[in-house]
Structure 1
């Protein structure tokens, strides 16, 4: 975070409340346990590879609620940044640059998945993992992916197909906090067909 020293604002009253964090970064631990050595090597070769080394995977709702209340009112700030006040005299900014440094993910244009999936024919890999998948049907839920992860790698799945499933779970469950009953993005399924395109996608911008 970028720090600045300014005149302290008047004391504020903190509000007692509860907060639910829907992002579930402990999916990283589940993924790491499920991957075979070869699959772990493939996963580490993706743009999300470093996240297998994440040490603290549990969110802290109380701490999150506290620092949200530390956002000062009246300070001039851009739309793409957050400011926090740490008594007695310090302000800290957290913006796109800091998010990029923390996550290590690329930034760029992310208006849609269109430019990245327009030349991808598929997703053929999905039919290997989910033989009953109907592209024009209801779609796949997060719970469908979680079930395969819990079952672990099997002889019917290639290593790269299992890794595709894992990186999607990391994005959908770990970062964006989708619940088990929600649908996985069809565009994400298509993008995972080409892992080179997956790694080139500006995930930093998308998640920010």
Structure 2
């Protein structure tokens, strides 16, 4: 689908996604994109996740207490079969969600640090899933 997307140099934040498929132009706004992708749409507020303990980091990366977790740390954990299988099912899901968010959706490289906001947010999967 991305190969069919048309380029637009308009910087407006509400510009629809425009695709050319079989010589027909299709436009999808935010609402249509959310219906198709299942992602939520709305205003973003990180207020509830700015402060507080980072229990996920402390539990999953005990050697990183008080330090930043990088994307490479998440990937290394997944690739280490012994460590990854020793995690609880929910913590293994949390690691995969964070790595997907950081690398696939946000496009950060493996050397980038994971924002503490996301480390706090992923602790409660209901909050994570409800986030727009």
Normalised to the residue count of structure 1, the TM-score between the two structures is 0.53
Residue 122 of structure 1 and its aligned partner are, at CA, apart by 2.6
Determine if the alignment matches structure 1 residue 68 to structure 2 residue 1: no
Residue number in structure 1 paired with 2:111 = 181
Matched ranges for 1:101-116 at <5 A: 101-110=35-44, 112-115=45-48
Residue number in structure 1 paired with 2:74 = 145
What SS does the corresponding residue of 1:181 show, helix, strand or coil? coil
What SS does the corresponding residue of 2:64 show, helix, strand or coil? coil
Residue deviations 1:41-70 (CA, integer Å, cap 9, x gap): xxxxxxxxxxxxxxxxxx97xx26xx334x
Residue number in structure 2 paired with 1:93 = 27
Determine if the alignment matches structure 1 residue 126 to structure 2 residue 88: no
Residue 88 of structure 1 and its aligned partner are, at CA, apart by 9.4
Structure number with larger C-alpha Rg: 1
Counterpart-to-counterpart distance in 2, 1:101 and 1:171 = 19
| Contact residue 83 and residue 91 of structure 1 kept, 8 A | no
Please list every run of 5 or more consecutive structure 2 residues that lacks an aligned counterpart in the other structure: none
Counterpart-to-counterpart distance in 1, 2:9 and 2:62 = 52
Counterpart-to-counterpart distance in 1, 2:32 and 2:104 = 19
Which structure is higher in helix share?
Answer: 2
Residue deviations 1:174-194 (CA, integer Å, cap 9, x gap): 211111111111100000111
Residue number in structure 2 paired with 1:161 = 91
Q: 1:91 to 1:168 in 2, by over 3 A?
A: same
- Aligned-residue RMSD, C-alpha: 3.0
Residue number in structure 1 paired with 2:130 = 200
Please list every run of 5 or more consecutive structure 1 residues that lacks an aligned counterpart in the other structure: 1-58, 203-208
Residue 166 of structure 1 and its aligned partner are, at CA, apart by 0.9
